[in-house]
Amino acid sequence: MNWDTVEEVFVIIAFGSVGGAISGAFVANYFSNRRDKSRRKLQLLAFLNAWQSDFLAGRDKYVPEANLSRAVFALFDDFRIELIAKATGVELDYSGIVQGRFKALETAIIDMTPGQLDIKQGREKLNAALNDLIDFLRKN
């Protein structure tokens, strides 16, 4: 047995192991990021669909802290704050023109005020804005 050959084999195994570990870490990170991106988008989409469903049906929402039910329109600020929180993570998943479009659709909802929902045109505007954002998320 030639010891030079054995040393070369050990060096090859060591470099192969290190290279494999590094490659494996990059691959795992890539798939983890994709999964997180998909999860954030799905959570935002589920939230928007539930909000729109409650909005269109005019359902009352139970507020445990106050032990009463309130009209979904009266809870607009609560929904708006939750939209901001959920959309912040999703916004960073996009870049360039697509990110700008997402931000514009989000801002169209965020800039509305609860007073605008007191009239039919305001409610129609919110419904259209929710539809636009939902369609965007499904396509991108």
CB atoms within 10 A of CB 128: 11
pLDDT (tens digit per residue) in 44-93:
999 999 989 888 888 887 777 777 787 777 788 889 999 999 999 899 89
Is residue 8 included in any domain, yes or no? no
Nearest alpha-carbon partner for 72 in 82, 62, 64: 62
Query: What's the confidence (pLDDT) of residue 138?
Result: 93
Enter the tokens of residue 132: 């636009």
Amino acid at site 26: F
Nearest alpha-carbon partner for 127 in 41, 46, 49: 49
pTM: 0.74
Is residue 24 included in any domain, yes or no? no
pLDDT (tens digit per residue) in 15-39:
677 666 566 656 655 655 677 888 9
Is residue 15 included in any domain, yes or no? no
Question: How many domains, the chain?
Answer: 1
Is residue 93 included in any domain, yes or no? yes
CB atoms within 10 A of CB 14: 10
Answer yes or no: are the C-beta atoms of 136 and 45 closer than 8 Å. no
CB atoms within 10 A of CB 83: 19
Is residue 58 included in any domain, yes or no? yes
Query: What's the confidence (pLDDT) of residue 2?
Result: 59
Is residue 118 included in any domain, yes or no? yes
CB atoms within 10 A of CB 133: 22
Domain span holding position 119: 37-139
pLDDT over 80 (residue 104): yes
Looking at the DSSP bridge assignments, the partners of residue 70 are 61
Query: Is pLDDT larger for residue 11 or for residue 130?
Result: 130
Answer yes or no: are the C-beta atoms of 130 and 109 closer than 8 Å. yes
Reported confidence tier of residue 103, pLDDT bands at 50, 70, 90? very high
Spatial separation of the C-alpha atoms in residues 44 and 137, rounded to whole Å: 9
pLDDT over 60 (residue 1): no
Query: What's the confidence (pLDDT) of residue 83?
Result: 95
Query: What's the confidence (pLDDT) of residue 96?
Result: 92
Query: Is pLDDT larger for residue 94 or for residue 23?
Result: 94
Is residue 26 included in any domain, yes or no? no
Is residue 50 included in any domain, yes or no? yes
Amino acid at site 56: L
